[in-house]
Structure 1
Amino acid sequence: MPLVTSKEIFNKAYDGKYAIGAFNVNNMEIIQGIVDAAKEEKSPLILQVSAGARKYAKPAYLKKLVEAAIMDTDLPIVLHLDHGEDFEICKQCIDDGFTSVMIDASHHPFEENIEITKRVVEYAHARGVVVEAELGRLAGIEDAVNVSEKDATFTDPNQAVEFVKRTGVDSLAIAIGTSHGAYKFKGEPNLDYERLEKITQLLDGFPLVLHGASTVLPEFVELCNTYGGNIPGAKGVPEEMLRRAASFGVCKINIDTDLRLAMTAAIRKSLTEDPKNFDPRKYLGAGREAIKSMVRHKIANVLGSSNTI
Protein backbone atom coordinates (compact mmCIF):
# COMPACT_ATOMS: atom_id res chain seq x y z
CA MET A 1 0.00 0.00 0.00
CA PRO A 2 1.38 3.46 -0.88
CA LEU A 3 1.27 6.44 1.44
CA VAL A 4 -2.24 7.86 1.74
CA THR A 5 -3.70 11.29 2.44
CA SER A 6 -5.89 11.95 5.46
CA LYS A 7 -9.11 12.65 3.52
CA GLU A 8 -10.72 9.22 3.69
CA ILE A 9 -9.54 8.33 7.18
CA PHE A 10 -10.72 11.71 8.52
CA ASN A 11 -14.15 11.21 6.95
CA LYS A 12 -14.47 7.84 8.71
CA ALA A 13 -13.15 9.28 11.97
CA TYR A 14 -15.59 12.19 11.89
CA ASP A 15 -18.58 9.92 11.28
CA GLY A 16 -17.37 7.39 13.86
CA LYS A 17 -16.57 10.05 16.49
CA TYR A 18 -13.00 8.89 17.02
CA ALA A 19 -9.62 10.43 16.25
CA ILE A 20 -6.51 9.36 14.37
CA GLY A 21 -3.24 9.51 16.25
CA ALA A 22 -0.59 11.77 14.74
CA PHE A 23 2.68 10.58 16.24
CA ASN A 24 5.95 12.47 15.88
CA VAL A 25 8.85 10.34 14.63
CA ASN A 26 12.58 10.87 14.99
CA ASN A 27 14.31 7.51 14.52
CA MET A 28 13.82 3.86 13.57
CA GLU A 29 12.83 2.56 17.01
CA ILE A 30 10.13 5.19 17.47
CA ILE A 31 8.64 4.39 14.06
CA GLN A 32 8.76 0.66 14.68
CA GLY A 33 7.09 0.94 18.08
CA ILE A 34 4.28 3.09 16.66
CA VAL A 35 3.55 1.01 13.56
CA ASP A 36 3.76 -2.32 15.39
CA ALA A 37 1.14 -1.03 17.83
CA ALA A 38 -1.11 0.23 15.03
CA LYS A 39 -0.81 -3.07 13.16
CA GLU A 40 -1.96 -5.02 16.20
CA GLU A 41 -4.80 -2.57 16.82
CA LYS A 42 -5.78 -2.43 13.10
CA SER A 43 -5.63 1.36 13.08
CA PRO A 44 -4.60 3.92 10.44
CA LEU A 45 -1.73 6.22 11.33
CA ILE A 46 -0.32 9.67 10.78
CA LEU A 47 3.45 9.76 11.16
CA GLN A 48 4.57 13.34 11.39
CA VAL A 49 7.93 14.97 11.02
CA SER A 50 8.87 18.22 12.76
CA ALA A 51 11.62 20.67 11.88
CA GLY A 52 13.69 19.18 14.70
CA ALA A 53 13.24 15.65 13.34
CA ARG A 54 14.25 16.74 9.84
CA LYS A 55 17.39 18.31 11.24
CA TYR A 56 18.23 15.33 13.48
CA ALA A 57 17.54 12.35 11.21
CA LYS A 58 17.58 13.98 7.73
CA PRO A 59 14.48 13.87 5.52
CA ALA A 60 15.72 11.07 3.24
CA TYR A 61 16.26 8.69 6.16
CA LEU A 62 12.84 9.42 7.68
CA LYS A 63 11.06 8.98 4.35
CA LYS A 64 12.70 5.60 3.74
CA LEU A 65 11.95 4.45 7.30
CA VAL A 66 8.28 5.28 6.78
CA GLU A 67 8.30 3.47 3.43
CA ALA A 68 9.80 0.45 5.20
CA ALA A 69 7.01 0.63 7.79
CA ILE A 70 4.42 0.42 5.03
CA MET A 71 6.18 -2.55 3.45
CA ASP A 72 6.29 -4.29 6.82
CA THR A 73 2.71 -3.60 7.92
CA ASP A 74 0.62 -2.63 4.86
CA LEU A 75 -1.08 -0.02 7.04
CA PRO A 76 -2.71 3.14 5.64
CA ILE A 77 -0.10 5.69 6.71
CA VAL A 78 -0.06 9.45 6.17
CA LEU A 79 3.37 11.11 6.07
CA HIS A 80 2.81 14.58 7.47
CA LEU A 81 4.94 17.69 7.96
CA ASP A 82 4.32 19.09 11.44
CA HIS A 83 4.49 22.87 11.92
CA GLY A 84 5.90 23.89 8.54
CA GLU A 85 7.09 27.43 9.14
CA ASP A 86 6.81 28.80 5.61
CA PHE A 87 5.84 28.03 2.02
CA GLU A 88 9.31 26.82 1.07
CA ILE A 89 9.51 24.05 3.68
CA CYS A 90 6.00 22.90 2.75
CA LYS A 91 6.91 22.90 -0.94
CA GLN A 92 10.06 20.89 -0.26
CA CYS A 93 8.15 18.24 1.69
CA ILE A 94 5.44 18.03 -0.97
CA ASP A 95 8.11 17.59 -3.64
CA ASP A 96 9.78 14.94 -1.45
CA GLY A 97 6.63 12.82 -1.38
CA PHE A 98 4.85 13.81 1.81
CA THR A 99 1.09 13.27 1.50
CA SER A 100 0.14 15.94 4.03
CA VAL A 101 1.71 19.18 5.23
CA MET A 102 0.94 21.66 7.95
CA ILE A 103 1.58 25.32 7.30
CA ASP A 104 1.75 27.12 10.63
CA ALA A 105 1.36 30.82 9.96
CA SER A 106 -0.64 31.35 13.15
CA HIS A 107 1.95 33.79 14.50
CA HIS A 108 1.12 36.17 11.64
CA PRO A 109 -1.89 38.50 11.56
CA PHE A 110 -5.14 36.91 10.34
CA GLU A 111 -5.00 38.22 6.76
CA GLU A 112 -1.35 37.22 6.35
CA ASN A 113 -2.10 33.76 7.77
CA ILE A 114 -4.80 33.38 5.11
CA GLU A 115 -2.48 34.56 2.33
CA ILE A 116 0.36 32.20 3.27
CA THR A 117 -1.96 29.24 3.86
CA LYS A 118 -3.80 29.75 0.57
CA ARG A 119 -0.51 29.70 -1.34
CA VAL A 120 0.45 26.38 0.25
CA VAL A 121 -3.02 24.94 -0.41
CA GLU A 122 -2.88 25.84 -4.08
CA TYR A 123 0.53 24.22 -4.53
CA ALA A 124 -0.39 21.11 -2.50
CA HIS A 125 -3.81 20.46 -4.03
CA ALA A 126 -2.38 20.62 -7.54
CA ARG A 127 -0.18 17.67 -6.51
CA GLY A 128 -2.75 15.64 -4.59
CA VAL A 129 -1.46 16.62 -1.13
CA VAL A 130 -3.67 17.78 1.76
CA VAL A 131 -2.99 20.76 4.02
CA GLU A 132 -3.50 21.47 7.71
CA ALA A 133 -3.29 25.01 9.05
CA GLU A 134 -3.57 26.62 12.48
CA LEU A 135 -5.73 29.43 13.79
CA GLY A 136 -5.13 30.61 17.32
CA ARG A 137 -1.85 29.95 19.14
CA LEU A 138 -0.99 27.23 21.64
CA ALA A 139 1.31 28.07 24.52
CA GLY A 140 4.33 25.91 25.28
CA ILE A 141 7.63 24.70 23.88
CA GLU A 142 8.22 21.80 21.52
CA ASP A 143 11.04 21.62 18.94
CA ALA A 144 10.94 24.90 17.02
CA VAL A 145 7.58 25.96 18.53
CA ASN A 146 7.95 28.38 21.44
CA VAL A 147 4.91 30.44 22.44
CA SER A 148 4.67 32.25 25.75
CA GLU A 149 1.47 32.14 27.80
CA LYS A 150 0.75 35.80 27.17
CA ASP A 151 1.02 35.28 23.40
CA ALA A 152 -1.33 32.29 23.34
CA THR A 153 -4.82 32.96 21.94
CA PHE A 154 -7.88 30.75 21.62
CA THR A 155 -9.46 30.21 18.20
CA ASP A 156 -12.36 32.49 17.32
CA PRO A 157 -15.20 30.33 15.88
CA ASN A 158 -16.36 32.89 13.32
CA GLN A 159 -12.80 33.52 12.17
CA ALA A 160 -12.38 29.77 11.78
CA VAL A 161 -15.28 29.63 9.32
CA GLU A 162 -13.89 32.53 7.30
CA PHE A 163 -10.39 31.07 7.36
CA VAL A 164 -11.46 27.66 6.05
CA LYS A 165 -13.65 29.19 3.35
CA ARG A 166 -11.01 31.58 2.07
CA THR A 167 -8.01 29.22 2.18
CA GLY A 168 -9.55 25.90 1.08
CA VAL A 169 -7.53 24.15 3.78
CA ASP A 170 -8.34 20.47 4.48
CA SER A 171 -8.12 20.49 8.31
CA LEU A 172 -7.64 23.10 10.99
CA ALA A 173 -5.66 23.00 14.23
CA ILE A 174 -7.52 25.00 16.86
CA ALA A 175 -6.54 26.42 20.24
CA ILE A 176 -8.93 25.49 23.06
CA GLY A 177 -6.55 25.10 26.00
CA THR A 178 -3.98 22.45 25.11
CA SER A 179 -0.30 23.39 24.92
CA HIS A 180 3.00 22.02 23.71
CA GLY A 181 5.50 20.21 25.90
CA ALA A 182 5.32 18.37 29.24
CA TYR A 183 4.04 21.27 31.39
CA LYS A 184 0.60 22.01 29.94
CA PHE A 185 -1.31 23.16 33.03
CA LYS A 186 -0.29 24.97 36.22
CA GLY A 187 -3.64 24.33 37.87
CA GLU A 188 -6.45 21.96 37.00
CA PRO A 189 -6.61 20.86 33.33
CA ASN A 190 -9.34 22.61 31.41
CA LEU A 191 -10.39 22.58 27.75
CA ASP A 192 -12.90 25.03 26.28
CA TYR A 193 -15.50 22.53 25.04
CA GLU A 194 -18.06 25.28 24.50
CA ARG A 195 -15.72 26.90 21.98
CA LEU A 196 -14.98 23.52 20.38
CA GLU A 197 -18.68 22.70 20.07
CA LYS A 198 -19.36 26.08 18.47
CA ILE A 199 -16.59 25.59 15.91
CA THR A 200 -17.88 22.08 15.15
CA GLN A 201 -21.41 23.40 14.60
CA LEU A 202 -20.22 26.17 12.29
CA LEU A 203 -17.87 23.84 10.37
CA ASP A 204 -20.14 20.81 10.18
CA GLY A 205 -18.30 17.78 8.81
CA PHE A 206 -14.92 19.54 8.76
CA PRO A 207 -11.98 17.81 10.50
CA LEU A 208 -10.40 19.65 13.41
CA VAL A 209 -6.99 19.00 14.97
CA LEU A 210 -5.67 19.17 18.53
CA HIS A 211 -1.99 19.96 18.99
CA GLY A 212 -0.24 19.69 22.33
CA ALA A 213 -2.44 16.74 23.29
CA SER A 214 -0.06 14.39 25.08
CA THR A 215 -1.35 13.14 28.42
CA VAL A 216 2.11 13.18 30.04
CA LEU A 217 1.33 9.78 31.54
CA PRO A 218 2.29 9.81 35.25
CA GLU A 219 3.81 6.33 35.17
CA PHE A 220 6.45 7.43 32.66
CA VAL A 221 7.21 10.65 34.52
CA GLU A 222 7.61 8.60 37.72
CA LEU A 223 9.87 6.07 35.97
CA CYS A 224 12.05 8.84 34.55
CA ASN A 225 12.40 10.45 37.96
CA THR A 226 12.99 7.13 39.72
CA TYR A 227 15.89 6.30 37.43
CA GLY A 228 17.74 9.60 37.55
CA GLY A 229 15.45 12.00 35.72
CA ASN A 230 14.34 15.43 36.86
CA ILE A 231 10.86 16.19 35.52
CA PRO A 232 8.96 17.73 38.45
CA GLY A 233 5.39 18.94 38.05
CA ALA A 234 4.81 17.67 34.51
CA LYS A 235 1.12 17.64 33.66
CA GLY A 236 -0.73 16.85 30.42
CA VAL A 237 -4.26 16.58 29.03
CA PRO A 238 -6.33 13.92 30.82
CA GLU A 239 -7.30 11.09 28.49
CA GLU A 240 -11.03 11.45 29.11
CA MET A 241 -10.82 15.04 27.85
CA LEU A 242 -9.28 13.85 24.59
CA ARG A 243 -11.98 11.20 24.09
CA ARG A 244 -14.63 13.86 24.60
CA ALA A 245 -12.93 16.18 22.11
CA ALA A 246 -13.07 13.43 19.47
CA SER A 247 -16.87 13.48 19.74
CA PHE A 248 -16.86 17.16 18.68
CA GLY A 249 -15.22 16.79 15.28
CA VAL A 250 -11.58 16.47 16.36
CA CYS A 251 -10.24 13.89 13.88
CA LYS A 252 -6.49 14.24 14.51
CA ILE A 253 -4.79 14.30 17.91
CA ASN A 254 -1.06 15.04 18.03
CA ILE A 255 1.14 13.02 20.38
CA ASP A 256 4.84 13.69 20.86
CA THR A 257 5.74 14.28 24.51
CA ASP A 258 4.25 10.93 25.57
CA LEU A 259 6.51 9.16 23.07
CA ARG A 260 9.58 10.92 24.43
CA LEU A 261 8.68 10.13 28.03
CA ALA A 262 7.91 6.46 27.34
CA MET A 263 11.16 5.88 25.49
CA THR A 264 13.32 7.83 27.91
CA ALA A 265 11.80 6.12 30.96
CA ALA A 266 12.43 2.66 29.52
CA ILE A 267 16.00 3.47 28.51
CA ARG A 268 16.81 5.01 31.91
CA LYS A 269 15.42 1.93 33.65
CA SER A 270 17.30 -0.46 31.35
CA LEU A 271 20.66 1.23 31.80
CA THR A 272 20.27 1.64 35.55
CA GLU A 273 19.30 -1.98 36.12
CA ASP A 274 22.11 -3.27 33.91
CA PRO A 275 24.98 -0.78 34.14
CA LYS A 276 27.33 -3.19 32.34
CA ASN A 277 25.19 -3.05 29.21
CA PHE A 278 26.62 -1.04 26.33
CA ASP A 279 24.58 -2.66 23.53
CA PRO A 280 22.25 0.00 22.03
CA ARG A 281 19.97 -2.72 20.70
CA LYS A 282 19.07 -3.72 24.25
CA TYR A 283 18.25 -0.33 25.70
CA LEU A 284 16.77 1.09 22.49
CA GLY A 285 14.77 -2.11 22.18
CA ALA A 286 13.34 -1.47 25.63
CA GLY A 287 12.40 2.02 24.51
CA ARG A 288 10.73 0.65 21.40
CA GLU A 289 8.64 -1.77 23.46
CA ALA A 290 7.55 1.01 25.81
CA ILE A 291 6.42 3.10 22.84
CA LYS A 292 4.52 0.16 21.38
CA SER A 293 2.68 -0.47 24.63
CA MET A 294 1.85 3.20 25.13
CA VAL A 295 0.63 3.68 21.53
CA ARG A 296 -1.58 0.58 21.73
CA HIS A 297 -3.15 2.07 24.85
CA LYS A 298 -3.69 5.42 23.13
CA ILE A 299 -5.29 3.86 20.05
CA ALA A 300 -7.56 1.50 21.96
CA ASN A 301 -8.55 3.60 24.97
CA VAL A 302 -8.11 7.25 24.02
CA LEU A 303 -8.32 7.75 20.26
CA GLY A 304 -10.87 4.98 19.63
CA SER A 305 -9.41 4.07 16.22
CA SER A 306 -8.91 0.32 16.83
CA ASN A 307 -10.37 -2.03 14.20
CA THR A 308 -11.18 0.76 11.73
CA ILE A 309 -9.24 -0.67 8.76
Structure 2
Amino acid sequence: MQRQNLEMDGVTFIGVISACTHTGLTNDGQRYFDIMVKDHHIEPRMEHYSCMVDLYGRAGMLVKAMEIINEMPFPASANVWRTLLAASCVHRNLELGKLAADKLISLQPQNPASYVLLTNMYASVGKWKERAKVRKLMEEKKVKKVAGYSWIEVKNKTYTFLAGDVSHPLSNQIYAKLEELSSRLKGAGYHPDTSYVLQDVDEEYKEAILSQHSERLAIAFGLIGTPPGTPLQIVKNLRICGDCHSVIKLISILEGRDIVVRDSNRFHHFKGGLCSCGDYW
Protein backbone atom coordinates (compact mmCIF):
# COMPACT_ATOMS: atom_id res chain seq x y z
CA MET A 1 0.00 0.00 0.00
CA GLN A 2 2.89 2.35 0.74
CA ARG A 3 4.51 1.59 -2.62
CA GLN A 4 1.22 2.28 -4.40
CA ASN A 5 0.70 5.47 -2.37
CA LEU A 6 -2.62 4.17 -1.12
CA GLU A 7 -4.11 5.82 1.93
CA MET A 8 -4.13 3.67 5.05
CA ASP A 9 -6.84 3.96 7.66
CA GLY A 10 -7.63 2.35 11.00
CA VAL A 11 -9.04 -0.77 9.36
CA THR A 12 -5.77 -1.29 7.49
CA PHE A 13 -3.85 -1.48 10.74
CA ILE A 14 -6.40 -3.77 12.39
CA GLY A 15 -5.68 -6.25 9.59
CA VAL A 16 -1.91 -5.86 9.87
CA ILE A 17 -1.78 -6.12 13.66
CA SER A 18 -4.15 -9.10 13.62
CA ALA A 19 -1.83 -10.84 11.14
CA CYS A 20 1.09 -10.24 13.51
CA THR A 21 -1.01 -11.59 16.38
CA HIS A 22 -1.73 -14.90 14.66
CA THR A 23 1.89 -15.48 13.67
CA GLY A 24 3.61 -14.51 16.93
CA LEU A 25 5.21 -11.34 15.53
CA THR A 26 4.80 -9.41 18.76
CA ASN A 27 7.49 -6.78 18.13
CA ASP A 28 6.21 -6.15 14.61
CA GLY A 29 2.66 -5.75 15.88
CA GLN A 30 3.78 -3.12 18.38
CA ARG A 31 5.82 -1.39 15.67
CA TYR A 32 2.84 -1.13 13.34
CA PHE A 33 0.66 0.19 16.16
CA ASP A 34 3.27 2.89 16.81
CA ILE A 35 3.48 3.70 13.08
CA MET A 36 -0.30 4.06 12.97
CA VAL A 37 -0.31 6.55 15.83
CA LYS A 38 2.89 8.50 15.24
CA ASP A 39 3.26 8.48 11.45
CA HIS A 40 -0.33 8.29 10.26
CA HIS A 41 -1.89 10.17 13.19
CA ILE A 42 -4.72 7.66 13.48
CA GLU A 43 -6.42 7.71 16.87
CA PRO A 44 -6.60 4.13 18.23
CA ARG A 45 -10.11 2.79 18.68
CA MET A 46 -11.33 0.00 20.94
CA GLU A 47 -10.69 -2.50 18.13
CA HIS A 48 -7.01 -1.51 17.96
CA TYR A 49 -6.52 -1.89 21.70
CA SER A 50 -8.31 -5.25 21.56
CA CYS A 51 -5.83 -6.36 18.88
CA MET A 52 -2.92 -5.28 21.05
CA VAL A 53 -4.27 -7.13 24.09
CA ASP A 54 -4.64 -10.20 21.88
CA LEU A 55 -1.14 -9.71 20.46
CA TYR A 56 0.50 -9.81 23.89
CA GLY A 57 -1.98 -12.25 25.41
CA ARG A 58 -1.32 -14.97 22.84
CA ALA A 59 2.41 -14.50 23.37
CA GLY A 60 1.94 -15.10 27.10
CA MET A 61 2.90 -11.52 27.93
CA LEU A 62 -0.16 -11.05 30.11
CA VAL A 63 1.29 -8.30 32.29
CA LYS A 64 1.94 -6.23 29.17
CA ALA A 65 -1.59 -6.96 27.94
CA MET A 66 -2.95 -5.71 31.27
CA GLU A 67 -0.81 -2.57 31.01
CA ILE A 68 -2.45 -1.77 27.67
CA ILE A 69 -5.90 -2.14 29.23
CA ASN A 70 -4.92 0.18 32.10
CA GLU A 71 -3.54 2.77 29.67
CA MET A 72 -6.60 2.85 27.40
CA PRO A 73 -8.34 6.26 27.34
CA PHE A 74 -11.75 4.61 27.78
CA PRO A 75 -13.16 1.64 29.72
CA ALA A 76 -12.34 -1.76 28.22
CA SER A 77 -15.11 -3.46 26.26
CA ALA A 78 -16.40 -6.96 26.87
CA ASN A 79 -14.38 -8.18 23.90
CA VAL A 80 -11.15 -6.84 25.44
CA TRP A 81 -11.82 -8.62 28.73
CA ARG A 82 -12.81 -11.81 26.87
CA THR A 83 -9.53 -11.69 24.97
CA LEU A 84 -7.55 -11.34 28.21
CA LEU A 85 -9.56 -14.11 29.85
CA ALA A 86 -8.92 -16.50 26.96
CA ALA A 87 -5.18 -15.76 27.07
CA SER A 88 -5.13 -16.20 30.85
CA CYS A 89 -6.81 -19.57 30.44
CA VAL A 90 -4.29 -20.75 27.84
CA HIS A 91 -1.32 -19.56 29.90
CA ARG A 92 -2.92 -20.47 33.24
CA ASN A 93 -2.66 -17.09 34.91
CA LEU A 94 -5.34 -17.51 37.54
CA GLU A 95 -5.07 -14.01 39.01
CA LEU A 96 -5.58 -12.09 35.76
CA GLY A 97 -8.09 -14.65 34.52
CA LYS A 98 -10.28 -14.16 37.58
CA LEU A 99 -10.07 -10.38 37.19
CA ALA A 100 -11.00 -10.57 33.49
CA ALA A 101 -13.86 -12.99 34.21
CA ASP A 102 -15.31 -10.73 36.92
CA LYS A 103 -15.20 -7.73 34.57
CA LEU A 104 -16.73 -9.73 31.73
CA ILE A 105 -19.52 -11.20 33.85
CA SER A 106 -20.43 -7.72 35.12
CA LEU A 107 -20.71 -6.49 31.50
CA GLN A 108 -22.40 -9.58 30.03
CA PRO A 109 -23.93 -11.65 32.84
CA GLN A 110 -25.79 -13.96 30.44
CA ASN A 111 -22.90 -14.73 28.11
CA PRO A 112 -21.79 -18.33 28.75
CA ALA A 113 -18.26 -17.78 27.33
CA SER A 114 -16.94 -16.01 30.43
CA TYR A 115 -18.22 -18.72 32.80
CA VAL A 116 -16.94 -21.56 30.61
CA LEU A 117 -13.47 -20.04 30.24
CA LEU A 118 -13.30 -19.47 33.99
CA THR A 119 -14.36 -23.04 34.80
CA ASN A 120 -11.83 -24.33 32.27
CA MET A 121 -9.08 -22.30 33.88
CA TYR A 122 -9.94 -23.57 37.37
CA ALA A 123 -10.03 -27.13 36.05
CA SER A 124 -6.65 -26.77 34.31
CA VAL A 125 -5.00 -26.02 37.66
CA GLY A 126 -7.02 -28.58 39.63
CA LYS A 127 -9.20 -26.13 41.56
CA TRP A 128 -12.33 -28.28 41.41
CA LYS A 129 -14.19 -26.55 44.26
CA GLU A 130 -13.85 -23.16 42.57
CA ARG A 131 -14.95 -24.71 39.30
CA ALA A 132 -18.04 -26.14 41.00
CA LYS A 133 -18.90 -22.69 42.41
CA VAL A 134 -18.85 -21.15 38.94
CA ARG A 135 -20.99 -23.99 37.63
CA LYS A 136 -23.47 -23.35 40.42
CA LEU A 137 -23.49 -19.64 39.56
CA MET A 138 -24.32 -20.55 35.96
CA GLU A 139 -27.26 -22.63 37.17
CA GLU A 140 -28.51 -19.82 39.39
CA LYS A 141 -28.34 -17.34 36.52
CA LYS A 142 -29.74 -19.95 34.10
CA VAL A 143 -26.78 -19.57 31.77
CA LYS A 144 -26.48 -22.47 29.33
CA LYS A 145 -23.08 -23.78 28.21
CA VAL A 146 -22.63 -24.00 24.44
CA ALA A 147 -21.89 -27.58 23.42
CA GLY A 148 -18.79 -28.22 21.33
CA TYR A 149 -19.50 -29.83 17.98
CA SER A 150 -17.82 -30.40 14.62
CA TRP A 151 -19.22 -30.97 11.19
CA ILE A 152 -17.93 -32.34 7.90
CA GLU A 153 -19.36 -32.51 4.40
CA VAL A 154 -19.11 -35.87 2.62
CA LYS A 155 -20.74 -36.47 -0.79
CA ASN A 156 -22.67 -33.19 -0.61
CA LYS A 157 -24.19 -34.00 2.78
CA THR A 158 -23.23 -32.40 6.09
CA TYR A 159 -22.72 -34.54 9.18
CA THR A 160 -22.49 -33.12 12.70
CA PHE A 161 -20.75 -34.72 15.67
CA LEU A 162 -20.72 -34.02 19.40
CA ALA A 163 -17.99 -35.37 21.69
CA GLY A 164 -18.65 -39.05 22.37
CA ASP A 165 -21.41 -39.07 19.75
CA VAL A 166 -22.92 -42.48 18.93
CA SER A 167 -25.93 -41.27 16.95
CA HIS A 168 -24.42 -41.76 13.49
CA PRO A 169 -25.52 -44.95 11.67
CA LEU A 170 -21.84 -45.78 11.07
CA SER A 171 -20.78 -45.24 14.69
CA ASN A 172 -19.32 -48.73 14.99
CA GLN A 173 -17.07 -48.17 11.97
CA ILE A 174 -16.16 -44.66 13.17
CA TYR A 175 -15.05 -45.90 16.59
CA ALA A 176 -13.25 -48.85 15.01
CA LYS A 177 -11.30 -46.36 12.89
CA LEU A 178 -10.49 -44.33 16.00
CA GLU A 179 -9.21 -47.48 17.73
CA GLU A 180 -7.02 -48.29 14.73
CA LEU A 181 -5.70 -44.71 14.65
CA SER A 182 -5.03 -44.78 18.40
CA SER A 183 -2.74 -47.77 18.03
CA ARG A 184 -0.90 -46.25 15.07
CA LEU A 185 -0.61 -42.86 16.78
CA LYS A 186 1.06 -44.38 19.83
CA GLY A 187 3.39 -46.28 17.53
CA ALA A 188 4.32 -42.91 16.00
CA GLY A 189 5.23 -41.54 19.43
CA TYR A 190 1.96 -39.91 20.48
CA HIS A 191 1.34 -39.50 24.21
CA PRO A 192 -2.08 -38.08 25.21
CA ASP A 193 -1.90 -34.72 26.95
CA THR A 194 -4.63 -35.21 29.54
CA SER A 195 -4.24 -31.67 30.88
CA TYR A 196 -6.78 -30.75 28.20
CA VAL A 197 -9.45 -32.87 29.89
CA LEU A 198 -11.16 -30.47 32.26
CA GLN A 199 -12.89 -33.07 34.40
CA ASP A 200 -11.91 -34.60 37.73
CA VAL A 201 -11.60 -38.23 36.57
CA ASP A 202 -8.82 -40.81 36.43
CA GLU A 203 -6.14 -40.75 33.73
CA GLU A 204 -7.47 -43.70 31.74
CA TYR A 205 -10.88 -42.12 31.41
CA LYS A 206 -9.27 -38.80 30.44
CA GLU A 207 -7.54 -40.53 27.53
CA ALA A 208 -10.87 -41.98 26.42
CA ILE A 209 -12.51 -38.54 26.56
CA LEU A 210 -9.73 -37.03 24.43
CA SER A 211 -10.04 -39.76 21.82
CA GLN A 212 -13.75 -38.98 21.38
CA HIS A 213 -13.55 -35.23 20.81
CA SER A 214 -15.96 -34.12 18.10
CA GLU A 215 -13.29 -33.18 15.54
CA ARG A 216 -11.73 -36.64 15.81
CA LEU A 217 -15.09 -38.29 15.18
CA ALA A 218 -15.61 -36.07 12.14
CA ILE A 219 -12.15 -36.89 10.82
CA ALA A 220 -12.61 -40.63 11.40
CA PHE A 221 -15.89 -40.51 9.48
CA GLY A 222 -14.21 -38.54 6.70
CA LEU A 223 -11.44 -41.14 6.47
CA ILE A 224 -13.84 -44.06 6.08
CA GLY A 225 -16.30 -42.15 3.91
CA THR A 226 -13.99 -40.73 1.24
CA PRO A 227 -11.40 -42.25 -1.14
CA PRO A 228 -7.76 -42.33 0.03
CA GLY A 229 -5.97 -39.03 -0.51
CA THR A 230 -9.15 -36.93 -0.49
CA PRO A 231 -8.67 -33.70 1.50
CA LEU A 232 -10.92 -33.38 4.56
CA GLN A 233 -12.55 -30.13 5.68
CA ILE A 234 -13.93 -29.87 9.21
CA VAL A 235 -15.53 -26.95 11.04
CA LYS A 236 -15.61 -26.71 14.83
CA ASN A 237 -17.59 -24.11 16.79
CA LEU A 238 -15.02 -23.91 19.61
CA ARG A 239 -11.24 -23.67 19.83
CA ILE A 240 -9.49 -26.93 18.95
CA CYS A 241 -7.60 -28.33 21.94
CA GLY A 242 -3.84 -28.73 21.91
CA ASP A 243 -3.98 -32.52 22.11
CA CYS A 244 -6.30 -32.80 19.09
CA HIS A 245 -4.02 -30.39 17.24
CA SER A 246 -1.06 -32.73 17.84
CA VAL A 247 -3.10 -35.78 16.85
CA ILE A 248 -4.34 -34.29 13.58
CA LYS A 249 -0.79 -33.38 12.58
CA LEU A 250 0.15 -37.05 12.98
CA ILE A 251 -2.99 -38.27 11.19
CA SER A 252 -2.07 -36.11 8.20
CA ILE A 253 1.14 -38.17 7.94
CA LEU A 254 -0.32 -41.60 8.76
CA GLU A 255 -3.24 -41.23 6.35
CA GLY A 256 -1.53 -39.09 3.74
CA ARG A 257 -4.32 -36.51 3.86
CA ASP A 258 -4.59 -32.76 3.81
CA ILE A 259 -6.93 -31.85 6.68
CA VAL A 260 -8.37 -28.37 7.14
CA VAL A 261 -10.01 -27.52 10.45
CA ARG A 262 -11.77 -24.18 10.88
CA ASP A 263 -12.16 -23.58 14.60
CA SER A 264 -13.40 -20.47 16.41
CA ASN A 265 -9.99 -18.84 16.11
CA ARG A 266 -8.65 -19.57 12.64
CA PHE A 267 -8.10 -22.03 9.80
CA HIS A 268 -5.68 -24.90 10.47
CA HIS A 269 -4.27 -26.61 7.37
CA PHE A 270 -2.62 -29.87 8.39
CA LYS A 271 -0.28 -31.46 5.86
CA GLY A 272 2.69 -33.80 6.23
CA GLY A 273 2.73 -33.50 10.02
CA LEU A 274 2.72 -29.70 10.08
CA CYS A 275 0.03 -27.07 10.57
CA SER A 276 -0.27 -23.74 8.79
CA CYS A 277 -0.65 -22.00 12.16
CA GLY A 278 2.90 -22.99 13.16
CA ASP A 279 1.45 -24.28 16.45
CA TYR A 280 0.56 -20.70 17.38
CA TRP A 281 -3.10 -19.96 17.75
Where relative contact order (Cα < 8 A, 6+ residues apart) is larger, the structure is 1
* TM-score of the pair, normalised by structure 2: 0.29
More helix by share: 2
Which is greater in Rg?
2
